[in-house]
Chains A and B, each alone.
Chain A
Amino acid sequence: MIEVKHISKRFRTPLVPEGRFAGVRALFSRKYKEKVAVDDISFCIGQGEFVGYIGPNGAGKSTTIKMLTGILHPSTGEVAIGGRSPHRDRRHVVRGLGVVFGQRTQLWWDLPTRDSYDILAAMYKLRERDKARKLAEMNDLLGLGEFMDTPVRKLSLGQRMRADLAAALLHDPAILFLDEPTIGLDVIAKKNIRGFLKTINRELGKTILLTTHDMDDIEELCQRVMVINHGRLAYDGSIPDLRSRIGLPTVIRVSFREPLPERLETDGAPFSIAGRNGLELTLQCNRQDIPAMDVLRHVSQWGEIADVHMEEPAFEEIIHKVY
């Protein structure tokens, strides 16, 4: 379905001279600054897969998606979607893609939402009957009715994302690229979007590639996860494998009422002491190996606990550290 072979993307930006007529002088400037955004990435995604694509900011996620959707041309390497190259054959390939950029809308900002669907239907040459059927289906899943006649600029972020998803699916593409579709949404809106994505993947068989900073998106939706860092593919596999590989420690900070003994024995329990500062202890454990309550029960032998603070693992931060 999606085949990516050794793609790299190097950006060459001219160093713009300063001062008067900078733009004209840049014409003749030969100084460039080169940056490698994506470095020799290869992968294959099969039909019906739901793949999460994660990595820190600036790691090359968006650049990869842009190369897959024909927006950017790879400096080297090949992309094939359904056997065709999205940059040589852009118009044909994008006909079979749905793309959602969470930060930007694809809809006509000042017009009623309904109008965007009419325009898109004409662009993709949909028959009136197919458009109506698809919109009805989307309406069932996303509840578009309440804002069909509202101008897009007046929609809430959650409504806008629903409207954008419907727009991306109107022409019934087999593949969906979602760049941070849950960004900025509240808990309920996120839950709705996830439910929707799950449905279109499991029931309609859409192939989905999702980038996100929200680990719950990944855990709940994706069968497979790819990690990119510094432009390189650092991991490609299942989530349980990734978890066992990097450990995902939960951090527990415990403060005690009285000074602690000099030597603290964990007696082989699977947690470790990461730091000690007066009355406060910082512990790390993997909640797959030991429940947090057991850790607390264990350390309460050392003294009376005054307060407990727990931090869930910041997945991305750890990935950033590990790779």
Chain B
Amino acid sequence: MTMLRLYLLLFRASVRSRMQYKLNFLLSSGLAAFINLMEFLLIAIILQRFGDIKGWSLYEIGYLYSVLLLSRAIYRILASDVHHIEKYLVGGELDQLLTRPIPVLLALMTQNVTILLGEVIQGTVLLVLCFQGLLAAGQIGWLAIPQTALVILAGSVILFAIGLLSATAGFWLTRVRDLQNITEDAARNAAQYPLVLYPGWLRMILLTLVPVGFANYVPALYILRGEYGPWLLLVSTAAAVLLLWVSFRFWRLGLSRYQSAGS
């Protein structure tokens, strides 16, 4: 409980620091939203021409896309600088976080908090549109709404754990941008679309090595299409909890390997 209070305090301080540069904040939020919107519009236009991809309709793809977008937004808002650990390792900035009587991860998560307003609004709007379409078609019921909320939360935990694992690799590698490009950016881009699109080996990777598929595709199989059974939701949540535990253990190990930087 005290940890949560401390987290909120540091989070607020970070947001207040950000607000010192209001114009920059508004501009970067706006631009990010614009880029995301363009990206999806492009896909939407292509889909309108072809109807569906491998049996997945526009609404279903929109659902996969927006669920992952929201999960990612939650992860990146609540744990901002986990993704930017490289600058702490290269510049030795982690030193300052280590001299405080709080968990280093908690301090890192609350540095340079960015409110990804664009992503949140866009993801929510898209999700609502897809819900309307799917409800109107009678494909899903109202129960899908709380189920989706759970999936988004579990997804953000999965993305956070993958992010933390990649960041921790930095204690050995120092430079982790390339690794993050693969495990975070490329994997997430791939999982925005139904995994059936991909060859078997790639699907395997996205369900095992970088298990981002559990964040949206696996639960969507049940929620949208009634395949397998409700236990898919449980699998997804269990994957999130397991990954989180593994990533925390790995982080601990990594931290003991921290080398700092020259004075």
Contacts and interface: CB of A to CB of B under 8 A. Distances in A.
A124 B96 contact: no
A101 B173 contact: no
Contact of B20 (A23, A57, A125, A151): A151
Contacts of A43: none
B203 interface: no
Interface in A13-27: 13-14, 16, 21-24, 26-27
Contacts of B48: none
B13 A111 contact: yes
A99 B99 contact: yes
Contacts, number: 97
A27 B6 contact: no
B39 interface: no
Contact of A71 (B6, B98, B101, B174): B98
Given A91-B103, A111-B17, A23 B179 contact: yes
A95 B101 CA distance: 6
Contacts of A62: 262-263
B177 interface: yes
A110 B260 CA distance: 24
Contacts of A188: none
Contact of A109 (B17, B177, B182): B17
A103 interface: yes
B17 A108 contact: yes
A212 B102 CA distance: 28
Contact of B6 (A70, A95, A103, A123): A123
Contacts of B259: 11, 13, 72
Interface in B1-39: 2, 5-6, 9-10, 13, 16-18, 20-21
A87 interface: yes
B175 A119 contact: no
Nearest to B169: A27
A26 B175 CA distance: 9
B245 interface: no
A125 B6 CA distance: 10
Interface residues of B, number: 37
Nearest to B177: A23
Contact of A22 (B9, B17, B96, B178): B178
A70 B178 CA distance: 30
A94 interface: yes
Contacts of B248: none
A105 to B, nearest CB: 8
B178 A21 contact: yes
A123 B98 contact: no
A228 interface: no
Interface in A87-135: 87, 90-92, 94-95, 97, 99, 101, 103-104, 106, 108-111, 115, 119, 122-125
Contacts of B177: 23
Given A91-B102, A119-B9, A23 B176 contact: yes
A151 B5 CA distance: 24
A23 B101 contact: no
5 contacts: A66-B95, A71-B258, A72-B258, A104-B96, A122-B6
Given A14-B172, A104-B93, 6 more contacts: A13-B259, A14-B173, A94-B100, A110-B21, A115-B13, A151-B20
